[in-house]
DNA sequence: GGCTATTACGGAAATCGTAACCATG
DNA sequence: CATGGTTACGATTTCCGTAATAGCC
């Protein structure tokens, strides 16, 4: 299972086409075909249906592993290269949108403990944060997600990463102010399984997470929102296009926010780091989780 | 970074010798030398000192990644092959020694929910359990370890595994009955940093774990015990050969057991599964963590 | 018939073993 | 000088591109 073969396999699965994957990888269709054939021969089973190109059950299984493996391979290379490169001037920090509120605190701590350090900030989707930190593209990451009160976040590819909890916050259901449920003091998620949901996986709680949390197959999106702008999502909710689950602090004036009481879930922010020295990271984490809202 | 190269790299690092690694892998010394040279060329830095053969700092870094990567590769292959093999007759369960107390409960639940299923049980070291489950050798694993009260276990290679907490229990220090500390009601770990310790990494809390938990470089073993037999470890402790940290329930008549109060740590048992359907696993986990001591 | 995957084939490159070579203890 | 890692070199295999072939809308 050569990583090259795995890489073309995921490319083909993503593109849904041998030729498109070939173009993306700089191979010929023939080479891609040979790669897939080699993988299928090696594993002794078809991995893709052709025409249309869709993974078989075995292929699905392999796909689940391939991404993390390739990511970890990159992380290993980045990690080794870092030991030979001279220490970078800039410290890079990435955060998912709903974790970005902690960026300012993190930044202040960095300025205090390492004055003069050049800092680069990035806000991007959760996957991009974890992958970037794993691959050494960022030094630090702040990701948010939902989890049971004292459980860690189920980060997809956190294989080589250290994580530290940084903040917890109640979850609320965001809904239009005139919604029948808007006056409720609290509600159970699974009563809303068949409501109109907006899936904003890069921003709010992804519906797939709600499904696993609620142990239900419902929570199907009426609308999918790709983007990281909180304000526009809230506008969509206010206009009645659907519901979303958010951390309490993300709610704003235009919408109603009702606490989600069942199941017991919280919005959680974690600090990720792949290679920072342990003391530096824990110092930062303690500042992030403490109330350093002085000045 | 071909997996073959990584595999020979870890083999060389473990053997401390090119030729020994070659013998182990069925290559010639020459091939091994070429593998290492290729890796070093690819990463642009020496990975091993020669004569004696010891990893460089870069090599250390790579080693940290190589094991999990190779394991995950095996797990992927096993996972795919499972989708094409007909469903196995027997359900295989592995447990580390101090988690084995829960085997009986797990077994009862399996017998109840899937009557007639053939079950195979194995008790082995923690690493063997996690690696075996990851590689698909076992369907289920029960591992124990120590962690902060509601933290997950820091499992080395749990990349592709789901984990569920199953049991918590106080930690005690096992010491001879006539030891000066034997009458204490509780004690702080770091006061004991320089005591005579027995390291029994496959059985009790490994000293390396204590070191990270206590943030200390002390806790050096006066004696290392390789094996999984609780009784013989307790005999060693009773005879005054050294101390060990155990879950409360593992203590027995022959020794004194004093609760470890600082830092706040518990003995924890987790259920691992790599590929079982989620409902089946959570059902099992809930039975394991509940008090199902009826009948 | 157009689009796309597969197969056939040839040249380039990589892989591994034999054997000669060197360095260290 | 002996043990053990490195280098040289050649046979074998693998890999990838071109081009011809075959299967599905």
Q: What is the pLDDT tens value at each position of chain A, 295 positions in all?
A: 899 999 999 999 998 899 989 989 999 999 999 999 999 999 989 999 987 889 998 899 899 899 889 988 988 998 888 888 766 667 788 888 888 888 877 777 777 777 777 778 888 888 888 888 887 888 888 899 888 776 777 776 666 777 777 888 888 988 888 888 888 888 887 788 778 888 888 888 888 888 877 767 778 887 888 877 888 888 888 888 888 898 888 888 778 888 888 778 889 888 888 766 656 666 666 666 654 443 3
* pLDDT at B295 (0 to 100): 33
Q: Is B135 on the interface with A (CB under 8 A)?
A: no
B27 CA to C15 C1' in angstroms comes to: 12
Q: Retrieve residue B52's tokens.
A: 């004696």
In total, the C-beta contacts within 8 angstroms joining chain A to chain B are 99
Task: Return the closest nucleotide (C1') to the Cα of B4.
Answer: C15
DSSP per position, B179-223: STTTT-S-EEGGGGTTS-EEE-TTTS--HHHHHHHHT-S---EEE
Q: Retrieve residue B282's tokens.
A: 């959570």
* pLDDT at B27 (0 to 100): 93
Q: Is B264 helix (H, G, I), strand (E, B) or coil?
A: coil
Q: Which of A76, A77, A157, A285 to mutate to test the interface with B (most CBs of B within 10 A)?
A: A76
Between CA A289 and CA A23 the distance in angstroms is 46
Q: Is A156 on the interface with B (CB under 8 A)?
A: no
Buried b (16+ CB within 10 A) or exposed e, B42-51: ebebbbbeee
Residue B176 backbone dihedrals phi, psi, to 5 degrees = -60, 150
Please work out, in degrees rounded to the nearest 5, the angle formed at the alpha carbon of residue A88 by the alpha carbons of A85 and A94: 120
Q: Nearest CA of chain B to the CA of A138: how many Å?
A: 18
Between CA B141 and CA A42 the distance in angstroms is 28
Inter-CA distances, A84 with A79, A120, B67, Å: 9, 22, 21
- Tokens 């990271």 -> residue: A281
The answer to whether the C-beta of A27 is closer than 7 A to strand D is yes
Q: Specify the pTM.
A: 0.73
Q: What is the 3-state secondary structure (H, E, C) of chain A?
A: CCHHHHHHHHHHHHHCCHHHHHHHHCCCHHHHHHHHHHHHHHHCCCCEECCCCEECHHHHHHHHHHHHHHHHHHHHHHHHHHHHCCCCCEEEEEECHHHHHHHHHHHHHHHHHCCCCEEEEEECCHHHHHHHHHCCCCCEEEEEEEECCCCCCCCCCCCCCEEEEEEEEEEEEEEECCCCCCCCCCEEHHHHCCCCEEECCCCCCCHHHHHHHHCCCCCCEEEECCCCCHHHHHHHHHCCCCEEEEEHHHCCCCEEEEEEEECCCEEEEEEEECCCCHHHHHHHHHHHHCCCCCC
Between CA B179 and CA B188 the distance in angstroms is 16
Q: Retrieve residue B168's tokens.
A: 């918590």
Which residue is nearest nucleotide D17, judged by alpha carbon to C1' distance? A28
Task: Return the closest nucleotide (C1') to the Cα of A48.
Answer: C5
Which residue is nearest nucleotide C14, judged by alpha carbon to C1' distance? B38
Closest CA to A132 of A86, A82, A81, A93: A93
Q: Is A16 on the interface with B (CB under 8 A)?
A: no
Q: Retrieve residue B289's tokens.
A: 């963590």
Partner-chain contact B159 A84, CB within 8 Å: no
* pLDDT at B287 (0 to 100): 66
> What stretches in chain B show pLDDT beneath 70?
86-89, 150, 156-160, 215, 275-295
Which residues make beta-bridge pairs with A175?
A256
Partner-chain contact B43 A81, CB within 8 Å: yes
* pLDDT at B226 (0 to 100): 81
DSSP state, residue B108: H
* pLDDT at B25 (0 to 100): 92
Residue B91 backbone dihedrals phi, psi, to 5 degrees = -95, 125
Between CA A264 and CA A138 the distance in angstroms is 32
Chain A contact set for B83 (CB, 8 A): 45, 57-58, 61
Q: Is B72 on the interface with A (CB under 8 A)?
A: yes
Q: Is A243 on the interface with B (CB under 8 A)?
A: no
Buried b (16+ CB within 10 A) or exposed e, A57-72: ebbebbbebbbbbbbb
The answer to whether the C-beta of B56 is closer than 7 A to strand D is no
Whether the bond into B52 is cis, omega within 30 of 0: yes
Q: Nearest CA of chain B to the CA of A87: how many Å?
A: 14
Which residues make beta-bridge pairs with B197?
B221, B243
Contacts of B68 (CB under 8 A, 6+ apart): A72, A159, A160, B156, B157, B159
Q: Is A80 on the interface with B (CB under 8 A)?
A: yes
């Amino acid at each position: 299972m050569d990583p090259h073969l795995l890489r073309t396999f995921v490319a083909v699965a993503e593109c849904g086409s041998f030729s498109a994957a070939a173009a993306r990888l700089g191979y010929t269709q023939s080479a891609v075909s040979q790669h897939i054939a080699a993988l299928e021969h090696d594993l002794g089973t078809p991995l893709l249906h052709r025409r249309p190109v869709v993974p078989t059950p075995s292929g699905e299984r392999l796909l689940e592993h391939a991404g993390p493996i390739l990511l970890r391979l990159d992380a290993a290379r980045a990690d080794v290269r870092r030991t030979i490169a001279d220490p970078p001037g800039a410290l890079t920090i990435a955060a998912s949108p709903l974790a970005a509120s902690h960026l300012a605190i993190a930044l202040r701590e960095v300025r205090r403990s390492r004055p003069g350090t050049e800092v680069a900030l990035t806000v991007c989707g959760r996957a991009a944060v974890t992958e970037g930190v794993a691959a050494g593209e960022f030094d630090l990451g702040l990701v948010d997600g939902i989890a049971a009160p004292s459980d860690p976040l189920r980060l997809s590819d956190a294989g080589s990463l250290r994580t530290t909890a940084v903040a917890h916050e109640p979850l609320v259901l965001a809904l239009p102010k005139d919604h029948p449920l808007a006056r409720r003091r609290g509600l159970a998620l699974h009563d809303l399984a068949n409501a109109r949901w907006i899936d904003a996986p890069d921003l709010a709680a992804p519906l797939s997470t709600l499904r696993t949390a609620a142990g239900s197959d419902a929570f199907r999106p009426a609308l999918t929102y790709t983007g990281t702008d909180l304000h526009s999502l809230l506008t969509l909710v206010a206009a009645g296009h659907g519901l979303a689950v958010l951390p309490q602090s993300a709610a704003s004036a235009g919408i109603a926010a009702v606490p989600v009481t069942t199941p017991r879930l919280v919005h959680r922010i974690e600090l990720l780091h792949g290679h920072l020295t342990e003391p530096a990271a824990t110092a930062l984490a303690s500042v992030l989780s403490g109330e350093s809202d002085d000045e």
